[in-house]
Amino acid sequence: MTVIGVLALQGAFIEHIKKLNQIGVDAREIRLPEQIAELDGLIIPGGESTTIGKLIDRFELRAPIVELAHSGRPLWGTCAGMILLAHAVDEDTRARSQPLLDLMDLTVRRNAFGSQLDSFETDLDFPAVAETPIHAVFIRAPIISAVGPDVEVLSRLENGQIVAARQRNLIVTSFHPELTSDDRLHRWFARTAKAATADLLPTTGGAKIAG
Ligand code: GLN
């Protein structure tokens, strides 16, 4: 069975776990460095990016997360998780102490919709994953304000603002896919995790372990 971890330090991790369980994935709450090596993929959930970032360092999770990312296994940051995967945060939206994992060539803008439009829902085209639009919930959401040449844009708002992107095995979405009944993004992530681990397994005479 595919094993996906959800970083469970702060924020919306329970909802991701529920969603993964619903689609038949072995989902684990991750709080300890040694739990990460056995995962096929990892989700960093929404919450408060500064808090999650500080706790990542306090619990010595930075090195194993970076190692998972470099191993080719998929890592998905949603909302605050997206901020943490970024290389930089727009200066005027950056917290004084804003720990980043700096894994993707992205600049993000925190709380990009301001207090007037703190939270909202909309339908998004997400052609890499779904033929029909995905309903997306944005909660004090960041947007991607700049992407490097290796980053593929996966989805934009109607005004052109980038809200989802991928760089190799690293995926970010500014909204909360765990809060709707749509499970297509989680299914896609689980498939990606399964495929990545299959590629990493040493193939001995073609015998592959199923599941
Ligand atoms: N505004 C939060 C931050 O900057 C992110 C909000 C969320 O994850 N829903 O960390």
- For residue 120, the domain's CATH number is 3.40.50.880
205 belongs to a structural domain: no
| CA of 95, closest atom in ligand 1 | 4
CB 31 within 8 A of CB 53: no
Spatial CA neighbour of 4 closest among 202, 210, 203, 197: 197
209 belongs to a structural domain: no
pTM of the model: 0.94
92 belongs to a structural domain: yes
Give percent above pLDDT 70 in the chain. Answer: 94
208 belongs to a structural domain: no
The pair of three-digit structure tokens given for residue 42, joined into one six-digit string: 């990892």
In the reported structure, the alpha carbon of residue 171 is separated from the centroid of ligand 1 by a whole-number distance in angstroms of 17
DSSP string, 91-139: GGG--SS------EEEEEETTTTTTTTSEEEEEE--TTT-SSPEEEEEE
210 belongs to a structural domain: no
Of 15, 16, 176, 186, the catalytic one is: 176
Average pLDDT value for residue range 115-127: 91
pLDDT at 190 over 70: yes
What is the count of structural domains for the chain?
1
145 belongs to a structural domain: yes
Reply yes or no on whether 15 is catalytic. no
pLDDT at 210: 47
Three-point CA angle 79, 13, 167, nearest 5°: 45
In the reported structure, the alpha carbon of residue 15 is separated from the centroid of ligand 1 by a whole-number distance in angstroms of 16
Q: Which of 92, 97, 140 to mutate to test the pocket of ligand 1 (most atoms within 8 A of CB)?
A: 140
20 belongs to a structural domain: yes
User: How far apart, in whole angstroms, are the C-alpha atoms of residue 180 and residue 37?
Assistant: 29
Q: Dihedral sign, CA of 172, 174, 176, 181?
A: negative
In the reported structure, the alpha carbon of residue 169 is separated from the centroid of ligand 1 by a whole-number distance in angstroms of 22
| pLDDT tens-digit map of 192-204 | 998 988 887 665 5
Lowest mean pLDDT among 17-21, 102-106, 133-137, 198-202: 198-202
Q: Which of 56, 110, 119 to mutate to test the pocket of ligand 1 (most atoms within 8 A of CB)?
A: 110
User: How far apart, in whole angstroms, are the C-alpha atoms of residue 208 and residue 211?
Assistant: 10
pLDDT at 202: 63
124 belongs to a structural domain: yes
| CA of 81, closest atom in ligand 1 | 8
CA atoms within 13 A on the CB side of 200: 19
Within 10 angstroms of residue 60's Cβ, the number of other Cβ atoms is 11
Amino acid at 127: P
Reply yes or no on whether 186 is catalytic. no
Residues with CB under 6 A from ligand 1: 46-49, 79-80, 83, 110-111, 139-140
Q: Which of 55, 56, 79, 107 to mutate to test the pocket of ligand 1 (most atoms within 8 A of CB)?
A: 79
pLDDT at 135 over 80: yes
Q: Domain containing 191: what range? A: 3-200
